[in-house]
Amino acid sequence: MSLEKKTLKIVSDFSFFESWEQKYEYLIELGKQNCSLNKDFKTDLNLVYGCQAKVWLVCKIKNGKLIYRETVTQLSQKAWWGYLLFFLATALLKRLLDLIILF
């Protein structure tokens, strides 16, 4: 799925709700659906510093694609991380490296 299609899906998901409270509750529910990392991965090496919640992030390369897994201590933050990883999940490693080289 392209980045544009992913963006449209997220906008569509949230446009269904009328209030910010409903959108926040939806984020909480999404957070509950995300799988957690095994406790063996909850190390300082995998901890993302500077976040409001504790976030552990692991990335692997499989068939030229980056595969992400995360655990987040706050459900609302877990959903936001889920969306971020939704964007990155199908990213080709070569494409990301090309973007990094531009900077």
Helix spans in the chain (H) = 3-15, 20-33, 75-88, 93-102
- Count of alpha carbons within 13 angstroms of residue 83, beta-carbon side: 18
Q: Predicted confidence band at 103 (pLDDT cuts at 50, 70, 90)?
A: very low
Catalytic residues: 51
Q: Report CA-CA distances (Å) from 14 to 21, 27, 29, 44, 99.
A: 11, 9, 13, 34, 29
- pLDDT tens column, 43-99: 999 998 888 888 888 888 777 777 778 888 887 777 777 777 776 765 565 666 666
Which domains occur in the chain, in start order?
3-102 (3.90.1010.10)
Q: What are phi and psi of 72, to 5 degrees?
A: -130, 140
pTM, rounded to two decimals: 0.62
Average pLDDT for 34-41:
79
**pLDDT of amino acid 20:** 86
DSSP conformation class of 92: B
Within 8 A by CB and 6+ apart from 92, the residues are: 64, 65
CA angle (25 as vertex; 17, 30 as ends), nearest 5: 100
**pLDDT of amino acid 45:** 92
**pLDDT of amino acid 95:** 65
